[in-house]
């Protein structure tokens, strides 16, 4: 497996990754509790990546793919976000083809993304995700470092990963790139 930057010709494969990764979860969801347009079979992560690519918060150097035998099997992106006046990064979506999940692809993508962000002197990465999964990568609840999401309903799953350039004065409200809203 190779981790590399996304290339222009990867967009269709990246959409297929997120479709494969998130469609089973969407199909299992109780459609009475979520808004799923009947004419849109794609999970929202597919559209989110496309909208992020067109946003000012898009950072091409931080959109990474996992490739095996010239096939894109995973994707992650980090986009410009902020904590008050301070720059930060928002992680997501991260996805792996369903038949490659559980084989270390997601972990490899996460380590590559965090390493790249740290090498670029970014202070922190934030995400919404499983409190059982992401702490293994150094993520902690945002409240521990006095960083809170701008949507209070996200608080229970909002996590941050301080990087080398993090300073304790970076506190306050976290805001994702616009397409997340």
Average pLDDT, rounded, for the chain: 93
* Helix boundaries (H) for the chain: 11-28, 44-53, 105-119
pLDDT at site 16: 97
pLDDT at site 39: 55
Give the mean model confidence (pLDDT) for residues 8-37: 74
CA 97, 29, 129 angle in degrees (round to 5)? 60
Give the 3-state secondary structure of residue 90: strand
Query: Which residues are 125's β-sheet partners?
Result: 89, 161
| Residue labelled with tokens 């084989």 | 103
| Residue labelled with tokens 């809170």 | 148
Q: What is the pTM of this model?
A: 0.90
Pairing of strands 2-5, 124-128: unpaired
pLDDT at site 40: 56
Give the mean model confidence (pLDDT) for residues 94-119: 98
């Amino acid at each position: 497996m190779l981790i590399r930057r996304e290339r222009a010709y990867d967009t269709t494969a990246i959409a297929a990754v997120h479709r494969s990764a998130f469609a089973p979860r969407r199909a299992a969801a109780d459609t009475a509790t979520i808004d799923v347009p009947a004419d849109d079979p794609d999970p929202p992560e597919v559209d989110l990546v496309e909208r992020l690519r067109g946003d000012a918060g898009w950072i091409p150097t931080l959109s990474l793919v996992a490739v095996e035998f010239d096939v894109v099997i995973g994707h992650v992106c980090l986009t410009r976000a902020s904590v008050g006046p301070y720059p930060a990064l928002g992680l997501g979506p991260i996805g792996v083809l369903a038949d490659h999940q559980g084989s270390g692809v997601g972990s490899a993508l996460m380590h590559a993304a965090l390493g790249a962000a740290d090498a670029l002197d970014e202070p922190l990465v934030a995400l919404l995700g499983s409190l059982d999964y992401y702490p293994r990568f150094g993520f902690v609840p945002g409240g521990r470092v006095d960083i809170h999401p701008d949507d209070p309903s996200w608080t229970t799953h909002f996590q941050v990963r301080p990087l080398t350039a993090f300073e304790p004065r970076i506190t306050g409200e976290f805001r994702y790139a616009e397409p997340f809203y």
